[in-house]
């Protein structure tokens, strides 16, 4: 995972999910169990769908906003 | 990756950045840090099924077991290249945080936002992932990439290989 696109472009992780959350809150607000689970399930899916080295997928979740259906 | 060239640049950075580090001017020192750029992107094709594989979790949130493990060194400009092993049965009240460079207040409410171990346990219980290792890993703030790469990473890799890990999930802070 990562939250800084510029830093990730430099580090070049093999496969990664990008979130729009601040440092120390990579899974969003505390206690949002449903979102924490979704992000992990997104990552499990990405294991299968990411076929190119260096793929970074931005996730749609935003701080204190409802998650997309 | 030219580790020898990095070491020279890093030692220069330490000498030049120490006054700013001691003054807490983190944005200033990070601007000058000689980040290592990898030569290429390491890649392992994924052909498995999560439901029959072994998973482990890594955080760089500075988490440690406050009753049984020493905290990370938060004073040195080099950071702390050691890691702590965190059992999957860990509870929120077992966790201490030794990392000065992010706001801990939310992690103190819910460790899962940097170390989603309880969600992974649920996925193991549901059979969505095959196995979650008994032990997981926490790192903290690190600047000394030389010691990290030459000393810590080989030790870390031997641990995860011994645990039979197929997929390692990394959560930075």
Among B163, B88, B84, residue whose Cα is nearest residue B119 = B88
**Residue A42 structural domain:** 5-58
Asked if residue B143 and residue B105 are part of one domain, the reply reads yes
Residue A63 within any structural domain of the chain: no
Write the ipTM.
0.96
The answer to whether residues B78 and B144 touch, using CB atoms and an 8 Å cutoff, is: yes
Non-local (6+) Cβ contacts of B126 within 8 A are none
Q: What angle do CA B93, B70, B17 make, to 5 degrees?
A: 115
Got the DSSP string for B34-93? -PPPPSS---------GGGSEEEEEE-S-EEETTTSPPPP-S-TTB----EEEETT--GG
Contacts of B54 (CB under 8 A, 6+ apart): B130, B131, B132, B133, B163, B164, B165, B166, B167
Count of domains forming chain A: 1
Flag if A31 and B110 touch (Cβ within 8 Å). yes
- DSSP run (H or E) holding B171: strand B167-171
CA distance B42 to chain A (A): 6
Show the domain range for B18.
Answer: 1-43
User: Are residues B101 and B22 part of one domain?
Assistant: no
The reply to whether B26 and B106 lie within a common domain is no
Instruction: Please tell me the total count of domains within chain B.
Output: 2
- How confident is the model over B110-163, as pLDDT tens digits? 999 999 999 999 999 999 999 999 999 999 999 999 999 999 999 999 999 999
Option in A1, A23, A50 nearest B102 (CB)? A23
Report CB contact under 8 Å: A40, B169: yes
Give Cα B115 to chain centroid, integer Å: 10
Same domain, B17 and B61: no
pLDDT at B77 over 90: yes
pLDDT in tens, A5-62: 988 988 899 999 999 999 999 999 999 999 999 999 999 999 999 999 999 999 999 9
Q: What was the pLDDT predicted at B37?
A: 80
Are B3 and B63 in a shared domain?
no
* A45 inside domain: yes
Residues B100, B74, single domain; the answer is yes
Are the beta carbons of A10 and B37 separated by less than 8 Å? yes
pLDDT at A10: 86
Task: State whether B5 and B85 are in the same domain.
Answer: no
Q: Which of A1, A24, A37 sits opposite B119 (nearest CB)?
A: A37
Q: Do B3 and B146 contact (CB within 8 A), yes or no?
A: yes
Q: Is the residue at A65 inside a domain? A: no
> Same domain for B31 and B54?
no
Q: Is residue A66 part of a domain?
A: no
The answer to the question of residue A64 being in a domain is no
Query: What residues are paired with A16 via a beta bridge?
Result: A56
Q: Is residue A39 part of a domain?
A: yes
Claim to verify: residue B80 and residue B116 sit in the same structural domain: yes
Contact check, Cβ <8 Å, B169/A2: no
Give the nearest chain B residue to A13 (CA atoms).
Answer: B41
């Amino acid at each position: 995972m990562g939250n800084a696109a510029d830093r990730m472009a430099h580090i070049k992780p093999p496969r990664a999910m990008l979130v729009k959350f601040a440092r120390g809150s990579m899974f969003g607000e505390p206690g949002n169990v449903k979102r924490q689970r979704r992000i992990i399930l997104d990552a499990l899916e990405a294991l299968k769908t990411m076929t190119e080295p260096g793929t970074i997928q931005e996730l749609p979740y935003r701080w204190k906003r409802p998650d997309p259906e | 990756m030219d580790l020898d060239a990095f070491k020279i640049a890093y030692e220069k950075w330490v000498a030049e950045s120490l006054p700013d580090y001691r003054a807490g001017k983190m944005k200033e020192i990070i601007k000058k840090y000689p980040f290592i750029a990898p030569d290429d992107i390491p890649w392992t094709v994924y052909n498995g099924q999560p439901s029959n594989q072994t998973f482990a979790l890594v955080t760089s949130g500075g988490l440690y077991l406050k009753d049984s493990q020493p905290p990370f060194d938060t004073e040195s400009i080099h950071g702390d290249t050691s890691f702590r092993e965190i059992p999957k049965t860990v509870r929120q009240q077992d966790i201490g945080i030794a990392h000065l460079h992010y706001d801990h207040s939310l992690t103190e409410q819910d460790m899962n936002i940097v170390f989603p171990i309880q969600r992974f346990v649920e996925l193991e219980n549901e059979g969505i992932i095959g196995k979650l290792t008994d032990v997981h890993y926490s790192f903290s703030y690190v600047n000394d990439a030389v010691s990290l790469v030459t000393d810590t990473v080989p030790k870390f890799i031997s641990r995860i290989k011994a645990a039979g890990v197929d997929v390692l999930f990394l959560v930075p802070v």
